[in-house]
Structures are given as structure tokens and as C-alpha cells.
Structure 1
Amino acid sequence: MFSTTTAGQCPYAPAESGAEDAAAARAHKAEENRGRPTLAFERKTPYADYIGVDTLLDLQRTRTDEPFESTFIITTQVMELLFSLVQGHWEAARDALEADDVPGAIARLRSSCNAQDVLNASWGLLSDMTPTGFNRFRDSFGEASGFQSYGYRRLEFLLGNKSAAMIRPHKAMGDVAAELTGLLERPGLYDAALRLLDRRGLPVPAEAVERDWTQAYEPSEGVERAWAEVYADDRPGNELLLLAETLMDVAERVTRWRHTHLMAVKRTMGAKPGSGGSNGLTWLARNAEQDVFPELWSLRSTV
């Protein structure tokens, strides 16, 4: 409800008032400083406080004197932050699709592509790490493995690569296990897209519209035929075609990530067993071969 106002005043929302007050304060400060930046603060700088710089830099805790270890830790931490950013975009896109908001979903997917590009480029930070350099600090992280990243597992679940067994490593982390279970039991990003196609009258098989969401997605010829109908209408205004191509942008970047991961491991440690107990390259190669949103790829051989 609006507050009571005096003659000549217009009611406004408190948030708008706060934004106006903040803008006025910045203008006053700029005038007071005569265009120069503020140099004196009683406490830590507002930048350090807002970003949490002290906490962030304190997280680079190496266990050896090997310079590559610092690069390895920082790169991995950057990736984890970007996993979280991509997850937020994908969940928002999924929810927009469930709400029949295709333009909103496309906007969030395009934002995720920007984050995915940075994520994929971050592998370049490790490009000069040699096998001998890696070996000098590898024993220091014991059984730690990217396989155990719950940030990455969230993304795989959202893509439809579901597996209840993949929650087991996180059972001792109650909140993490609960979040992963929630993602396991809900439709993923691609599921939401197929449900949208069904509501728009396309012939999506019933088993793809309502199924056991805890199971990994399996390709379907019926789903491919539904997407083929979308591609048959290639007018510029077909928002379902725009959605399909944006999903392809996402899928291509995921595939690129998986292959680059595979190559990075092959270059630094070859076919040695992984630190997390897997067979290393074989595990990564199998994952890299899986198509994301498979029917969007397979229909290209038939349309």
C-alpha cells in the first residue's frame, strides 16, 4: 500500500526511493571529491568488503612449494564459481520453460553460454602444466578429484545425466545431498523443453512428458520427430526453433568442456589411474562421447 503524501507529492515504492537516494549520494560525493576517487576509509575499502577479497585470497592454501599447485587450485576454484553461475542460469531457464516463458528461457540460456565460454577458456590456465610439475604436488591432494565436485554434479543433473549413486559421495554433507536429491527428482532443463513442446501441440511421446525424473534421460525417435517438426518451420519468428538452437549452443559448449577436460588430463597425467579411484581417461572419454540433448544432434542427419 502507498504511504500518505502531502499535496504536490507522488507516491513511490520504497525501493525506488532508496535507489534515488543512493544515486543522489554518489552525485554529491563526486562533486565533493571534484571528480577524484575517495582515498581514505576508516575500515577496509568498500570494494574489499563487498567482494570478500580477504576471504577469497585466503582460500589459496597450497601444500607444497610447487608453483603449478597454486595455478591448479586457483583454476579449480574459478571453475567452481562458474559452475554456480551456470547452474543459476539453467535453473532459471528451466523454470521459465515450465511457465511457458520461452523468451525468458532463451535469455537465461544465452547468459549461461557467456559463462560457459569463460569456463571453457579457464582450462588455458593449466595448458603449460607439465607431467613432472603435476607429479610434484599430486600426492598432496590425496583422493581429491573433480569427480567429487557437487557443483559440477548439479550441472550434470540439470542436463539429464541423472544417477542416484552420484549423490553418495556427498551424504556426509547434508545440505548438498538434499539439494542434489531435489535436482534428481525434478525435471531437468531438457525435460522442461520437451514438456513445453507437448503443451504447444507437438507429438512428444507421453513417456518423455511424465516419467521417473530420477532416471537418466534416454533418447527417443518420437522426440526426434517432434523436434524435426519444429525445424520444418524455419521462419524467423518461430520461438521454438530459436529455443532449439539456443539449447544447441549450450550443448556444444558442454561437449567442448568435456573434451577439453579429457585432453587436459591426458596431457598432464596420461592413462594413470585417477586420484578419486576411477580409471581416469577411460571414464572421461566415455562421458565426452555422450551427446547433450541427443535428439537435437541426431535430427541433423535426417532433416
Structure 2
Amino acid sequence: MTRTPYDPARDGAQMAFDGRMSYTDYLCLDAILTAQHPRSTAHDEMLFIIQHQTSELWMRLALHELGAARDLIAAGDLRPAFKMLSRVARIFEQLNNAWDVLRTMTPAEYTRFRDALGQSSGFQSWQYRLIEYTAGNRNLAMLRPHAHRPDLTAALEAELARPSLYDVAVGRLAAAGFALPPEATARDPRAPRAPHPAVEAAWAAVYREPERYWELYELAEKLMDFEDYFRRWRFNHVTTVERIIGFKRGTGGTSGVQYLRRMLEVELFPELWHLRTSL
């Protein structure tokens, strides 16, 4: 028996879009799907481009969520911020999964187009830098790779002028009555944050009495979830690079694997990691 092909229009599906917004229009897919411009004839360059472009899209969303969460935490409205921070952790889980796709590329395949990258490198991702600055890792030396773009420098400088996500989280400790010194609460936002024993002691008190400080306890764990996935992303970056190029220097001039291994030592929320030992 011949079956009549299903026609979604019979169930009311819109099938004509002359002069009306379609899925392609709403998502601007014409711009997105034509933004891949390989500079070699190597088959695997398309993988390399799309993996990094999609990572930048996920970072765009992470920044959207981190900025909104920070504003809510600063205002003392923590519960909606928890949902946003959970989403950021899931975003970095997606970014981690992306390395699995890139690792299907072998060293020989990457070598076929590596020279076409010139001096470009993920080291120069301004959105990645903005995520670090937003979270609290404020290394001013990392402004320099963006000096050729005044617009990007302005965006990074604007972030440096305001308290980081971790600054506002520490501010909630002070608002809850914990005695914190001015260097922990009224600091220069551009300066790197050094671990402070009073901040660690306050977070430790929260962990010892979670029922009393439940929202602060939940905030601490949401921050830890975020950094946990962030650290895994960095680790996966190291192992992917070592698997594909070994210990060659990076295209952007860094020492490659050695540089990435140093980045594994960076802590976004140091007191939250350190207190585990003393509990």
C-alpha cells in the first residue's frame, strides 16, 4: 500500500515565508554559516575553524550569564544568580566536550594547515580574557594582545573598572556580618586579588554551618562548580595541544604546552579551594 507523504501544512505548520521572518532569518544563519573561510586546501581546517567559532559562541553566552549573575549577587538577590551560575558550569561542560571533536584531528592533519594560521592563536581570544577578568583573574599583562583593537581594549578596561564576580561574592560575606578588612572588600578592582586569611576564615565558617548561612553556602558551591568545569576545560586544552603538536611553540609565540600548564595553576576563587584543607 502506498502511503501519502506527510504534509505538515495539514496540521497548521507555516510553510510560506515571503515577507515573514523564518528560522534562518531569526538566527542570522546566512552570516553564521558563511563565516568559515579556510586559508588552505586541507580538509581538517574546517573542523579547526568551527570548533573555535562555536567555542566563542558559548563564551558569548557565558559572559551574558556571568554579568547578570554578578549584578544579582551585588544586589543581594542570590537565588536567581544560582540558576545563571549553574548554566555557566553547563556551558563549560559543552566547551569540554568540544575538545573531544578536535582530538579526532591527528598531528599530520594539523600540520597541513598550521602555517595558514600565521600568528593567530586562542591565546588572543578577548572573550576568554573577559571571562577571566569577570570572574576575578585580573592579569593586566594580558591586555597587550588586544592593544591593536581600541574597541576590544575598551571593553576589557571597562570590565577592569568594576568589581569582579568574586569581589561581589566576598561582599556578600561582609554584608552577612563577617568582619573583613578593607583590603578584602574595598580594594582596587584592577589589582589582582591575593588570597586573604580573613576571607578564607569567613568561607570556612559558612561551610561549618551551612544551615545558618545556606545562601552563602550555595553561592560558594556554585562558584566552585563553575571553576571546576573551567579548570577541566583548561586541562583538556593542555592535553589536546600536547596530543596534536607536542611541545612545539604556539602559533601566537607562547611556549605552547608549558604556557598552558602554567595556566592550570591559576585559581579564580582561591579561598574557596584552600579552606578544604582546614575543614
Query: Shorter-normalised TM-score: what interval?
Result: over 0.9
Deviation readout 1:50-92 (Å, 9 max, x if unpaired): 1111111111111112121100000000000111100111111
Tell me if 1:173 matches 2:141: no
Letter in 2 for 1:247: L
State the match for 1:12 in structure 2.
none
Tell me if 1:207 matches 2:188: no
Tell me if 1:198 matches 2:178: no
State the match for 1:291 in structure 2.
267
Tell me if 1:255 matches 2:231: yes
Deviates more, 1:203-212 or 1:176-185: 203-212
Could you list the runs of 5+ residues in structure 1 that have no partner in the other structure? 1-31
Number of residue pairs the alignment of both structures matches: 272
Letter in 2 for 1:129: M
State the match for 2:136 in structure 1.
160
Question: What is the distance in 2 between the residues matched to 1:187 and 1:237?
Answer: 23
Greater RCO (Cα-Cα under 8 Å, separation 6 or more): 2
* TM-score (norm. length: structure 2): 0.93
Alignment of 1:125-140 (within 5 A): 125-140=101-116
> Which has the larger Rg?
1
Tell me if 1:233 matches 2:209: yes
Which residue of 92, 109, 119 corresponds with 1:116?
92
Letter in 2 for 1:120: N
Question: Is the contact made by 2:9 and 2:15 (CA closer than 8 Å) also made in structure 1?
Answer: no
Could you list the runs of 5+ residues in structure 2 that have no partner in the other structure? 1-7
Tell me if 1:96 matches 2:76: no
Shift of 1:302: 0.6
Which residue of 37, 61, 69 corresponds with 1:61?
37
Letter in 2 for 1:201: G
Shift of 1:232: 1.3
* TM-score (norm. length: structure 1): 0.86
Letter in 1 for 2:166: Y
Letter in 1 for 2:159: L
Q: Which runs of 4+ in 1 moved over 3 A?
A: none
Q: Percent identity?
A: 40
Question: Is the contact made by 1:163 and 1:184 (CA closer than 8 Å) also made in structure 2?
Answer: no
SS of 2:113's partner is: helix
SS of 1:115's partner is: helix
Question: Is the contact made by 2:78 and 2:219 (CA closer than 8 Å) also made in structure 1?
Answer: yes
RMSD: 1.7
Tell me if 1:149 matches 2:129: no
Question: Is the contact made by 1:254 and 1:292 (CA closer than 8 Å) also made in structure 2?
Answer: no
